Amino acid sequence: MQKTFKNEKILFAEPLFQCDGLAGFTRSELYENAIHRTLRINQLKKEHNWTQEDFDIAIRCLNYEVGFVIHLSMFIPAIERLATDDQKAKWLPLAESYRILGTYAQTELGHGTNLMALETTATFDPRTDEFVLRTPQLSSMKWWPGSLGKTATHAIVLAQLIIGNKNYGMNPFMVQLRSLEDHMPLPGIIVGDIGAKLGANSNDNGFLILNDVRIPRENMLARNSKVTKDGRYIQTSTNKANYATMVLVRLSIIRWAEDTIKNGSLIAIRYSAVRRQSSLQAGGPEMQVLDYQTQQYKIFPSLAASYALFFTYEAMMKEYEIAYAQIMRGNNQLLGQIHGQLSGLKAFASDLVTYELEMCRRSCGGHGYLKASVVGETLLHTLPLVTVEGDNTVMYLQCARYLLKQIAKALAGQDVDEPTSYLKKDILSYTCPVQKGEHCTNPNYLLKIYTQRAHSAIASVARQLQFDLESGKDQSSAFNNNLVSLVQAAKAHCQLCLMKNFVESVSALERTCSENLASVLRQLCLYFGLHGIVTASGEFLESEAIGLQQLEWIKAEELKSLAAIRPNAVALVDAFDLHDQTVMSALGRYDGNAYQHLFEAAKREPMNQTQVPPAYYKYLRDLIKGQPLAKL
Ligand SMILES: CCCCCCCC/C=C\C/C=C/C(=O)SCCNC(=O)CCNC(=O)[C@H](O)C(C)(C)COP(=O)(O)OP(=O)(O)OC[C@H]1O[C@@H](n2cnc3c(N)ncnc32)[C@H](O)[C@@H]1OP(=O)(O)O
Ligand SMILES: Cc1cc2nc3c(=O)[nH]c(=O)nc-3n(C[C@H](O)[C@H](O)[C@H](O)COP(=O)(O)OP(=O)(O)OC[C@H]3O[C@@H](n4cnc5c(N)ncnc54)[C@H](O)[C@@H]3O)c2cc1C
């Protein structure tokens, strides 16, 4: 599942990468440890001639608990996508050698989603051939950018470009924040950390106030638009191209989601295999909780999601690489498709894993509430994915906007993009392929059901919008009246994408892998499809993709699937090939000794380093001895 990291032994031989000790670290210690780790991985890369892929896998092996995440995942990619060749030649070597440390400063205290309303300005001053950057009011300050608080020496600041009295919209500007001599903020720069978060506290997300900070004209990243010395704005590509970095990170978030749900399902399934509790026969032996149908129902969705997201990431990476290669050659034909697809799939993947991680946590009972189980920590670290790189609701709406355009083309007899080719079909010619119970065991039949449900959802909201417009509603009111249905249609399309990628990937694999493996993957794919229909049965019925009889057959087949997956469940998570130090969980160790590892973790608890707590001498001793308490 994960490209086996041949350098795992090298990485985990070093105490720095052994994760047990992170519990109890202060924020400053977590921050410092994360920086130390990234720089040490960089040294290992040089010492052992690792590839960039090895470097990236090492970071994933540490669950991204490293420093400079935004420098690596946004600042450098933004230079690659937004800078001219000359600007790349200047800034990339500095960034890649960590001579400058960067962040991507777009979100403000008052705005994150609505980029058109960002308040930071960059005003061109022709007298000095400079831009003057300012955050005019409290709500304008940059707020959230990773590494901004204490680390970044530079930021790519997204600001409204002002020339004369005209606003040319959001453009990217390279701004130095700190001295490269003593790391002190430069004149006009007020910068700091925004404070503790629910998780990811090794990251110094920060705030930035710009008080008339002057930068040279050549600091505007000018691949897509530039300002001439005499103040003329020249657009060389669509201004949507300035959004390119976000598209890439949305792709990365799908893989991040895949990585977290693999951890969660591995912990839940391995622990459920060793945990024995209660018995079905009075006086009989206690059962592995993994044998309870309800426990399987709780955690097998996370197992199936792990594989579904793996296959979808692989497919979307190929789609992105094709689109990006064209875009970098100036051909924006695929820009709308890749934006629509990745907006929706980033939202769907992060929604899916945050829900399933909580189910994994719950499935571990009381021990799931211990930090040492790590499944709760994993959930906390995953929660931001529903917000970063675009709030999920807003991302679904971007996907829906793309789908509306595609169905309009389909209905007009025009070509549509490959991912929405199903919209060309005649929706009325559909007949449910499941006409008897055994038909539910055919993933291709299920795929037809998903297709019809998605097509129906998109067609239905398109019709409703048209009806509202023809009834006299203006565009924005008609849209706002249908936002929930638009989100629903986007989710339906995304769930179809996951199912299609799963079916097609297994079909391709079975041509080369053993029949045993093929049969296990087919079973998991079938389960993923059945479970998806059951959990959204209302929408599948509403779309008439299935009827009540089919739903009854599908529900029965889903429960049978649980029993079919059970014998391979542990092997399927072992196949993730995740090192114990990556999973870090006392409940999910490969050796299965959950209780021993829990007790070892408890013994490492700082409070247990002394038998008698300081509070005894302050409060408890007199209390227990019946002595009057001193004034508190
Ligand atoms: C070390 C490894 C680590 C790997 C993992 C890294 C993870 C990093 C974790 C955290 C970092 C977090 C970073 C951030 O959060 S950065 C900030 C992210 N912010 C956002 O995503 C803002 C969301 N808002 C928007 O994107 C936009 O405001 C909008 C899309 C909601 C609205 O755009 P706008 O231009 O205001 O209006 P329209 O909707 O009318 O769109 C206009 C037009 O542009 C097209 N379009 C919009 N976005 C894109 C895009 N990204 N790419 C291409 N095209 C885009 C849109 O489709 C419209 O096109 P049209 O229909 O043809 O007119
Ligand atoms: C951990 C973390 C790291 C981050 N790192 C960075 C970074 O490195 N760089 C950076 O620039 N930013 C960063 N961000 C900021 C992030 O990009 C924004 O928080 C995100 O884009 C959401 O915007 P917002 O916070 O303004 O939410 P809002 O848009 O204010 O969302 C609030 C509510 O309003 C709803 N809403 C908003 N607009 C609409 C609409 N048009 N239609 C329907 N509903 C709507 C949303 O769905 C949501 O329910 C980070 C955030 C987090 C949590």
Angle at 429 between CA 427 and CA 430, to 5 degrees: 75
User: Ligand 2 pocket test: which of 394, 480, 486, 488 has the largest number of ligand atoms within 8 Å of its C-beta?
Assistant: 394
537 and 451 fall within a common domain: yes
- Cβ–Cβ under 8 Å, residues 118 and 159: yes
146 annotated to a ligand binding site = yes
Catalytic residue among 8, 65, 377, 389: 389
236 annotated to a ligand binding site = no
505 and 551 fall within a common domain: yes
520, part of any domain: yes
* Gap between the Cα atoms of 152 and 177, Å rounded: 7
* Gap between the Cα atoms of 178 and 56, Å rounded: 28
- Find, among 511, 532, 528, 458, the residue nearest to 488 by Cα: 458
Does ligand 2 have an atom closer than 6 angstroms to the CB of 495? Answer: no
Give residue 243's pLDDT: 85
Q: From the centroid of its chain, how far is CA 613?
A: 42
Full residue range of the structural domain in which residue 151 is found: 99-236
What is the b/e burial string over 290-324, where b = at least 16 CB atoms within 10 angstroms of the residue's CB?
bebeebbbbbbbbbbbbbbbbbbbebbeebbeebb
Ligand 1 midpoint to CA 114 (Å): 9
Q: Is 361 helix (H, G, I), strand (E, B) or coil?
A: helix
381 and 522 fall within a common domain: yes
Give residue 5's pLDDT: 66
84, part of any domain: no
DSSP H helices, 543-613, are 548-565, 569-574, 580-583, 594-604
Ligand 1 midpoint to CA 398 (Å): 9
Give residue 3's pLDDT: 46
373 and 417 fall within a common domain: yes
Q: How many CA atoms lie within 13 A of 550 on its CB side?
A: 22
184, part of any domain: yes
Counting as low any pLDDT under 70, the low residues of the chain are 1-5, 19-23
Does ligand 2 have an atom closer than 6 angstroms to the CB of 149? Answer: no
C-alpha dihedral over 227, 89, 239, 394, to 10 degrees? -140
321, part of any domain: yes
Give residue 23's pLDDT: 66
Residue whose CA is closest, atom 37 of ligand 2? Answer: 113
292 and 220 fall within a common domain: no
pLDDT per residue as tens digits for the range 99-133: 999 999 999 999 999 999 999 999 999 999 999 99
What is the b/e burial string over 25-39, where b = at least 16 CB atoms within 10 angstroms of the residue's CB?
eeeeebbebbbebbe
What is the b/e burial string over 85-103, where b = at least 16 CB atoms within 10 angstroms of the residue's CB?
eebbeebeebbeeeebbbb
* Residue found by looking up tokens 């002595």 in the block: 627
197 and 344 fall within a common domain: no
Rg (CA), the chain: 27
Ligand 1 midpoint to CA 395 (Å): 8
23 and 108 fall within a common domain: no
Q: Which atom of ligand 1 is nearest to the CA of 114?
A: 28
Strand-by-strand arrangement of the 142-143 sheet: 142-143, 206-210, 189-193
Give residue 241's pLDDT: 83
Write phi, then psi, for 500 (nearest 5 degrees).
Answer: -65, -45
53 and 129 fall within a common domain: no
186, part of any domain: yes
Does ligand 2 have an atom closer than 6 angstroms to the CB of 185? Answer: no
Q: Which atom of ligand 2 is nearest to the CA of 392?
A: 47
Ligand 1 midpoint to CA 286 (Å): 52
Q: Which atom of ligand 2 is nearest to the CA of 158?
A: 11
pLDDT per residue as tens digits for the range 575-629: 999 999 999 999 999 999 999 999 999 999 989 999 999 999 999 999 999 998 8
* Gap between the Cα atoms of 235 and 619, Å rounded: 71
- Cβ–Cβ under 8 Å, residues 135 and 118: no
CA distances from 541 to 445, 524, 535, 575 (A): 16, 23, 12, 36
231 and 251 fall within a common domain: no
Residue where a domain terminates, one of 236, 260, 293: 236
Q: Is the ipTM of this complex over 0.95?
A: yes
282, part of any domain: yes
Q: How many CA atoms lie within 13 A of 576 on its CB side?
A: 31
Q: What CATH number corresponds to the domain at position 208?
A: 2.40.110.10
Q: Is 160 helix (H, G, I), strand (E, B) or coil?
A: strand
374 and 451 fall within a common domain: yes
127 and 206 fall within a common domain: yes
Residue where a domain terminates, one of 192, 218, 236: 236
* Gap between the Cα atoms of 261 and 578, Å rounded: 12
Q: How many CA atoms lie within 13 A of 251 on its CB side?
A: 21
CA distances from 437 to 105, 440, 554 (A): 55, 6, 8
Q: What CATH number corresponds to the domain at position 262?
A: 1.20.140.10
User: Ligand 1 pocket test: which of 52, 113, 319 has the largest number of ligand atoms within 8 Å of its C-beta?
Assistant: 113
Does ligand 2 have an atom closer than 6 angstroms to the CB of 387? Answer: yes
389 is catalytic: yes
28, part of any domain: yes
173, part of any domain: yes
Does ligand 2 have an atom closer than 6 angstroms to the CB of 393? Answer: yes
Residue where a domain terminates, one of 178, 204, 236: 236
* Residue found by looking up tokens 């892998």 in the block: 513
252 and 223 fall within a common domain: no
Split into its structural domains, the chain has a count of 3
Ligand 1 midpoint to CA 246 (Å): 6
